[in-house]
Amino acid sequence: MRSHLLEALFASATDYAILALDLAGHVTLWNEGARRIMGWTEAEMLGQPVHAIFTEEDRRDRVPEAELRAAAETEIGTDERWHVRRDGSRFWANGEMMPLRDGAGTHVGFMKILRDRTAQRLEAERQRADAGFLRSVLASSADCIKVLDLDARLVFMSEGGQRVMEVSDFNAIRGCPWPDFWSGQGNAEARAAVDAARAGGIGRFQGVADTMAGTRRDWDVQVTPILDADGRPERLLSVSRDVTAVRSAERALREAQGLNAAVLQSSRDCIVILDLEGNTRFVSPGGIEAMEVADVDAIIGLSWPRVWKGEDNAAAWSALAQAKEGGVGRFRGFCPTHRGTPKWWDVAISPLAGPDGRPDGLVSIARDVTEQHLVETELRETEERRRLAIEAADIGTWSFDVETLTPHWDERCKTLAGLPADAVVTYDVYMANIHPDDRERVRAVTLAALDPAGSGAYRAEYRVVGPIDHVERWIAAAGRARFEGGRAVSLAGTARDVTVRKKAEEQSLLLADELQHRVKNTLAMVQAIVRQTLRAAATPAEAQAAIDPRLQALGRAHTMLTVGGWEGSDLRTAATVALESHDDGSGRFRLSGPPAWLSAQAAMSLALVLNELATNAAKYGALSTAEGGVDLSWSVEPAPGTAGSAKLELVWREHGGPPVAEPLRRGFGSKLIERGLASAIGGTATLTFPRGGVVCRVQGTLTALNASKLAV
């Protein structure tokens, strides 16, 4: 019966897992509760070690054995730990283990009773976590969080609150009436807030209260009820926030606003308050004056950017947009006043922050910079003009420090001197750059300019030689010395390249000299012709008749050579020109020969010689008859042994004239042939008088220079 009862008890205790074990820990009994809680059936577990219900780590730590041993020794062992179900999941078990004894008191096994307490266990953990979180929140909050009872006595104050209230020991103030911490107006407001919270509402106020350490602070306070389960206020929660910093900032702002107003009133700038669309809301007194506004009301509401015209209009809109974005827009613009006075303004537009920190308006501060602008413009233009002038004129600027003997050159000066742009110019570099022949002169001119007794003016034209390109350039430098305390301290001025002018001057000097030489030489030739003619002539009339054609021949040769730049002439051209006045166009002269270049002197001599031959032929020879003629032929052959030179042989042969007899007296013509022309071409000349006609044979050398001319 008793056993039966026990069986029934086992079976019905389904909230409890009850299992019996033998001394070795094998299951001998497994009730329905055990099956429900852990999943195994009695059939599955009977005879199995109880280890199966222990977690892996407990089995490893030999907890089952320890538990059995503990139960055997102490009669009862509590068991609160995680166990394992048949499906492997874990549950928090709260149970006991006790030894089983038979009637004789002999230890025959164990009984283990378990309850599944998993839900309770998790709830407890959650609550612990929540409480910890709340504590940490209260501790870390900078607000002073207090709990009051309904009589407004302090029950609790958060850690953060104790810090900010400078409370060293909360127990010293626990139970004190909270409104008493406030004095005057604050005390009344605190009581009112407590009353409001007690009535289920929210009490709120701002006031001044000292901390426990006596520091005066501004507080923003809120008092709310803590309701019980029935929704009635049970306690009160008071949260005070330290707003001292905020209030002082507000005070500063108020003071600043006062200052702003003063600035606005007294500033001479044109300060305009605009809405975000740029319409004028307010113009400062200084602005009204500066803009010469007669009727302020007329400009309120007007679009401010439209005041600016042309390029300034775009600049104004862009500055406005920048300010709307929170930045500062700046520009300089031109805007005449209402009375038409032209004015330049430096404008800055900034945003005016609204209560939410976003711009809800703009302020434009325009400063009259007309005078400054005009000066700057003038300076800029002057500078620009100077720069242009310097660039156009290739003018470099330089200075010379007398104290340190250091020249300072701009890049153009270096270019003028043939120095690279990065060259370091020292006094030695400067001197070495000057042509050796000009150095002393430049030094003397410089010293004269530095003489305090003098005018200080410096002016020199000299040659420089580029150290790299070795190019010689003419520099014209001009400057002025600066004197301090009766001593020259510096010399500064400009330098420009006058090479072209100098070369032109040299060229024209050369030309003038050459012309002088040529004219004088020609006069000497005229002199020679005249003297020769006079010496040979029997009468003045004969002399006169002879002189004219000779000077004419000289003149024609001159013209021919001048056209060719006095570089000489082709033989055929020289002959044609010389014989021109004797040629009646009937083909009396036959010229034949290859191209042959004669020097100017040889061409001149040939022209004079041919003139003499033709004159004689016209008087006594082939040209004195209608049928007669002259063959002028020449040949050019390479001269053996002299590279580039050539042998010239020229033959004048008359035919068809009257029988010829050798003249008794050699005249100017034959002397010129034998001594002049022959010498001019470095050869020999012979004049023979066969009966059939005069023959003049000239042999000479065309120099390499003259021969090469033909190849050109």
Partner 1 sequence: MSEARTFDGRRGAVLVVEDEPLIRMEAVDFLEGEGFTVVEARSADDGLAVLRARADIRVLFTDIQVPGTLDGIALAWIAAREFGNIRLLVVSGRAAPGPGELPHGAVFLAKPYNASTVVGHVQDAIRPG
Binding site for partner 1 (CB under 8 A): 513, 516-521, 523-529, 531-532, 535, 601, 605, 608, 671-672, 675-677, 679-680, 682
Phi-psi region of 423 (alpha: psi -120 to 50; beta: other; left: phi over 0): beta
Q: How far apart are CA 696 and CA 669, in angstroms?
A: 11
Smallest gap from residue 586 Cβ to partner 1 (A): 31
Nearer to partner 1, 267 or 679 (CB): 679
Decide: helix, strand or coil at residue 336: coil
Q: How far apart are CA 392 and CA 499, in angstroms?
A: 16
How far does the chain reach from its first CA to its final CA, in angstroms?
A: 156
Q: How far apart are CA 337 and CA 340, in angstroms?
A: 5
Decide: helix, strand or coil at residue 32: helix
Cα–Cα nearest to 618, from 590, 572, 581: 581
For 333, counting Cβ atoms within 10 Å of its Cβ (0-12 exposed, 13-18 middle, 19+ buried), the class is buried
Q: Tokens at residue 282, please?
A: 């307010």
Nearer to partner 1, 63 or 639 (CB): 639
Nearer to partner 1, 118 or 679 (CB): 679
Q: How far apart are CA 546 and CA 549, in angstroms?
A: 6
Residue 269 and residue 246 in contact, taking contact as beta carbons nearer than 8 Å = no
Q: Centre a 10 Å sphere on the Cβ of residue 65 and count the other Cβ atoms it contains.
A: 12
Smallest gap from residue 574 Cβ to partner 1 (A): 15
Nearer to partner 1, 4 or 535 (CB): 535
Nearer to partner 1, 457 or 528 (CB): 528
Nearest-5° Cα angle at 439, 435 to 440: 150
Smallest gap from residue 655 Cβ to partner 1 (A): 28
Nearer to partner 1, 267 or 532 (CB): 532
Residues 6+ apart with CB under 8 A from 377: none
Smallest gap from residue 477 Cβ to partner 1 (A): 28
Cα–Cα nearest to 52, from 75, 21, 77, 23: 21
Smallest gap from residue 508 Cβ to partner 1 (A): 15
264, 362, 366 from 256: Cα distances, Å: 12, 18, 21
Q: Tokens at residue 501, please?
A: 């002018």
Nearer to partner 1, 438 or 674 (CB): 674
Smallest gap from residue 605 Cβ to partner 1 (A): 5
Phi-psi region of 59 (alpha: psi -120 to 50; beta: other; left: phi over 0): alpha
Residue 304 and residue 325 in contact, taking contact as beta carbons nearer than 8 Å = no
Smallest gap from residue 513 Cβ to partner 1 (A): 6
Smallest gap from residue 461 Cβ to partner 1 (A): 21
Q: Tokens at residue 361, please?
A: 């308006």
Cα–Cα nearest to 86, from 49, 45, 47, 57: 45
Smallest gap from residue 520 Cβ to partner 1 (A): 3
Nearer to partner 1, 605 or 616 (CB): 605
Nearer to partner 1, 374 or 523 (CB): 523
Nearer to partner 1, 187 or 601 (CB): 601
261, 282, 295, 331, 347 from 299: Cα distances, Å: 21, 9, 7, 22, 18
Smallest gap from residue 611 Cβ to partner 1 (A): 12
Smallest gap from residue 676 Cβ to partner 1 (A): 3
Q: Centre a 10 Å sphere on the Cβ of residue 516 and count the other Cβ atoms it contains.
A: 10
Decide: helix, strand or coil at residue 257: helix
- Would you mind telling me the total number of residues written for the chain in this entry? 712
Smallest gap from residue 518 Cβ to partner 1 (A): 7
The one-character DSSP state at 653 is E
Nearer to partner 1, 359 or 682 (CB): 682
Nearer to partner 1, 157 or 608 (CB): 608
Nearer to partner 1, 90 or 520 (CB): 520
Smallest gap from residue 578 Cβ to partner 1 (A): 14
Burial 66-85 (b: 16+ CB within 10 A, else e): ebbeebeeeeebebeeebbe
What's the number of CA atoms in the CB half-sphere (13 Å) around residue 404?
8
Q: Centre a 10 Å sphere on the Cβ of residue 374 and count the other Cβ atoms it contains.
A: 12
State the DSSP H helix or E strand holding residue 396, giving kind and residue range, or none if neither: strand 395-401
Nearer to partner 1, 447 or 519 (CB): 519
Q: How far apart are CA 414 and CA 473, in angstroms?
A: 12
Q: How far apart are CA 169 and CA 167, in angstroms?
A: 6
Smallest gap from residue 529 Cβ to partner 1 (A): 7
Nearer to partner 1, 163 or 518 (CB): 518
Smallest gap from residue 682 Cβ to partner 1 (A): 6
